Amino acid sequence: MSVVLTTWGLAPGVPYTLTVANVADMRGNLLALNPPCGTPPVILEPPANLPVLEGNPAAFSVIATGAPPLTYVWRFDGTPILDATNSTLSIPVVQTDDVGTYEVVVSGPSGSATSTGATLTLLVPSPQRQWFALDGVSPPDTPIVVRVQSSDLHQTQMDVRMPGFWISTMNYANRVFTRIEMPESRLEGDGLPVQAGDRGWYDFDDFLTP
């Protein structure tokens, strides 16, 4: 089939004729079309914003047309990037220093066009938490119970019962980090004597940190 393009953002009023095998191929053939000599570069699809986890790869791309040959110069926060002269800019491993605004200047024999800026931002990884009940039934955040069985100034015997704990995992910079979190503690009993030399008795809540 034939498609007549009367306007395409290149040279208004100049007709284009393109034969495609099927509709699915139309976009690819349109982009491969060489406009007439003297047509300045036009950016059809500017680079898009990229939110990326640190340590992961990232890639900006641009689609442009105009009278060939076209050249590309990518810029980071306004400064040209060394050897970044293709329609795609790849960053193999994103680091904090890569955060900023990227744009590309497309040049041809009849002029140049600068894309809108695309921002690269770092995503904050969200840890995944899972509760492990040691007895198989205790609900999340069931406190650890410390029960005083006997106590004097020289020796204290306690029964500690831990119902479970949290395990948090997080993917960051292509590594997996794991952290174990304990629930709060609760002490049961009449009280504990303070160290020798002090006077008086204290309740648990007076000197125990959660």
Q: Are 62 and 42 in contact (CB under 8 A)?
A: no
Instruction: Give the tens place of pLDDT for each residue, 127-169.
Output: 788 898 988 899 998 888 877 766 565 666 777 788 888 888 8
Give, for 28, the enclosing helix (H) or strand (E). Answer: helix 26-32
pLDDT value, residue 91: 96
pLDDT value, residue 153: 59
The answer to whether residues 116 and 158 belong to one domain is no
| SS3 of residue 37 by DSSP | coil
pLDDT value, residue 44: 94
The answer to whether residues 187 and 133 belong to one domain is yes
CA separation for the pair 210, 22 (Å, rounded): 69
125-128, long-range: CB within 8 Å, 24+ apart, which pairs?
A: 125/53, 125/170, 125/171, 125/172, 126/170, 127/168, 127/169, 127/170, 127/179, 128/168, 128/169, 128/170
Instruction: Give the tens place of pLDDT for each residue, 11-59.
Output: 455 455 554 444 444 444 444 456 778 889 999 999 999 999 888 899 9
Q: Enter the pTM of the model.
A: 0.54
- Asked which of 83, 103, 123 is the last residue of a domain, the reply is 123
The answer to whether residues 199 and 133 belong to one domain is yes
- Asked which of 106, 123, 140 is the last residue of a domain, the reply is 123
In total, how many domains does the chain have?
Answer: 3
Q: Are 94 and 55 in contact (CB under 8 A)?
A: yes
* Polymer length in residues for the chain: 210
Q: DSSP E strands: which ranges in 31-155?
A: 42-45, 50-53, 58-61, 63-65, 71-76, 79-80, 88-91, 100-108, 111-114, 118-123, 128-133, 144-151
- Asked which of 68, 88, 123 is the last residue of a domain, the reply is 123
The answer to whether residues 115 and 164 belong to one domain is no
Range of the domain at 13: 1-33
CA separation for the pair 73, 67 (Å, rounded): 17
Token reading at 37: 């000599």
State residue 31 phi and psi, 5-degree precision. -70, -25
Instruction: Give the tens place of pLDDT for each residue, 91-128.
Output: 999 999 999 999 999 999 999 999 999 999 998 777 78
Average the pLDDT over 56-83 and give the result.
95
pLDDT value, residue 181: 85
pLDDT grade for 199, boundaries at 50, 70 and 90: very low
The answer to whether residues 42 and 114 belong to one domain is yes
The answer to whether residues 142 and 191 belong to one domain is yes
The answer to whether residues 93 and 149 belong to one domain is no
pLDDT value, residue 47: 97
State residue 205 phi and psi, 5-degree precision. -65, -15
Cα angle: 173, vertex 174, 178; to 5 degrees = 85
